[in-house]
Structure 1
């Protein structure tokens, strides 16, 4: 492999890591899973995700919107209504995220037990 190929491969890996950082982030995964069931208001998302701060929810939604995975719709009213929904590409990722969440639910106890065993040693 020559130097230009190595540079190109290194750039591709960095770009891939950037995407994986977004879609592998715990808050992004949870938001994508919830929005996979349909559009949600900001307040619904906040109530649905235990432990997320208002700031972190806002930052994560902005990042997902920037990446083209979520659409933000503001409806003029008092107070303004803000809804979030997945884009078509976001829906394709939501399917994959759903599989990851299902796996996590199925193996949560096994992982918890493994951690306790490891920590006791």
Structure 2
């Protein structure tokens, strides 16, 4: 696979199904035959259950994932930090990191 792109849930399921149908082959050989990278195939095999669950839950695979900009998270984190510090709450590095991750998920 030359060009980097996100596969839909259906495409991932199709790749996994075709992988299961292949006779005993290495991941590298299977990836070449399936036109995906070996690392992507490995990640898909590890997260197979989540991919199958997403398919069963009828997740909208046509939806584009929103890419959260670093600036959006930083602005939201700064606002949160200011509010918390006004309440005289001690903010540690791990707490700040966790809040940044939470905000990134919430924003997009």
TM-score, normalised with respect to structure 2: 0.30
Structure number with the higher strand fraction is 1
TM-score, normalised with respect to structure 1: 0.28
Larger Rg: 2
